[in-house]
Amino acid sequence: MIGVGVVGYGYWGPNLVRNFAETPGSRVVAVSDLSPERLQRVTHRYPGVATTTDADALITNPAVDAVVIATPVATHFDLAMRALTAGKHVWVEKPLAATSDEARRLRDEAATRRRVLMVDHTFVYTGAVRKIGELVRAGALGDLYYYDSVRVNLGLFQYDVDVMWDLAVHDLSIMDYVLDARPRAVSALGSAHVPGRTANVAYLTCLFEDSLIAHFHVNWLAPVKVRRTLIGGDKQMIVFDDLEPSEKVRVYDKGITVDPGLEGRHEMLVSYRTGDMWAPQLDATEALSGAARDFLGSIDTGDEPITSGAVGLRVVRLLEAATESMRHQGQLIEVDLTEAGE
């Protein structure tokens, strides 16, 4: 039985405690939070779980084998490093750290101490994203042309990160899981419309070695909520709408066919192909439950979790490059993700 300690019982903490409490093979030993009122809610719902306002007391608790961190981004590195050096396995809320240097140090520390380091990119564990990854890796879409994502809504404004680090982190982690290719450069533009706050609308473009291009639109000031991704290939195309109640993933047999004209390749003929649409059956298991099982399974086996520290480092490096690009009005910033590992 793996003893779990959760640091942070704010917005996401209750979901983490519930899932680890319900997942076979784990037991929530303790919860830490700076708010006594939040800790009272823990005691009311989980009478057997110890509570403390001192995160260090939780980290050094000998009954805690794994520390789950759900605190503001600026605290991720310090808490995770303290847990790793205490010999604990570590789960960190997205993004893994505030800088790529911090993320790299956490990844290396976990490897040195042979401890599991996992970042909570929850969307990767949804049935929809897993199915999309399966289809792409099986070659169902053929050669990929583009990856286009929109994630917008009205609020919630974050005080510690901008809209890119809050929303685009989800889509970058999904892209990292779905695609085998890694971006070689990024360009980003963003704007802040609330005085004294960070960017609330942003556009990020990722360029790859071939003609594949990825684009992300994130916004805290949209009048409607949109969670839609389009992936186009030369064989088939996918529409992923996370707000759809049933058919979240739709696969379209649509595209173009290019043939040389009578005068040769200088006059290419483009014809349109329109075929069927189908919606695959998706696993309805709660994504966070799947993530918890992956984390606990990695502790048992020693294998890397799907959203490992290396994945977290790649995503943070892209966000860091996007931030640099925004500071320079969309300047193209080259990125090298090979150091993060495949």
Tens-place pLDDT, residues 63-118: 999 999 999 999 999 999 999 999 999 999 999 999 999 999 999 999 999 999 99
| CA pair distance 155, 158, nearest whole angstrom | 8
The sheet that has 117-120: what strands, in order across it?
A: 50-52, 26-32, 2-7, 66-69, 89-93, 117-120
∠ CA 188-194-197 to the nearest 5 degrees? 70
Please report the pLDDT score of residue 249 as a whole number: 98
Q: Does residue 13 carry a pLDDT above 70?
A: yes
Confidence of residue 11 (pLDDT cuts 50, 70, 90): very high
Pairing of strands 333-334, 185-191: antiparallel
pLDDT, one tens digit per residue, over 233-251 is 999 999 999 999 999 999 9
Please report the pLDDT score of residue 342 as a whole number: 47
Amino acid in position 113: R
Asked if residues 52 and 77 have their Cβ atoms less than 8 Å apart, the reply is no
pLDDT, one tens digit per residue, over 126-162 is 999 999 999 999 999 999 999 999 999 997 888 788 9
Percent over 70 (pLDDT), the chain: 96
| CA pair distance 339, 333, nearest whole angstrom | 17
- Please state which CATH class domain 124-285+316-340 belongs to: alpha beta
Q: Does residue 219 carry a pLDDT above 80?
A: yes
**To the nearest whole number, what is the mean pLDDT of the chain?**
94
Percent over 90 (pLDDT), the chain: 87
Residues 319-337 have a mean pLDDT of: 96
Which pair of structure tokens corresponds to residue 213? Answer: 């291009």
**Architecture of the domain delimited by 2-121+288-308:** 3-Layer(aba) Sandwich (3.40)
Please report the pLDDT score of residue 152 as a whole number: 97
- CA-nearest of 204, 149, 203 to 171 is 149
Residues 283-310 have a mean pLDDT of: 96
The domain locations on the chain are 2-121+288-308, 124-285+316-340
Amino acid in position 92: V
Q: Does residue 271 carry a pLDDT above 90?
A: no
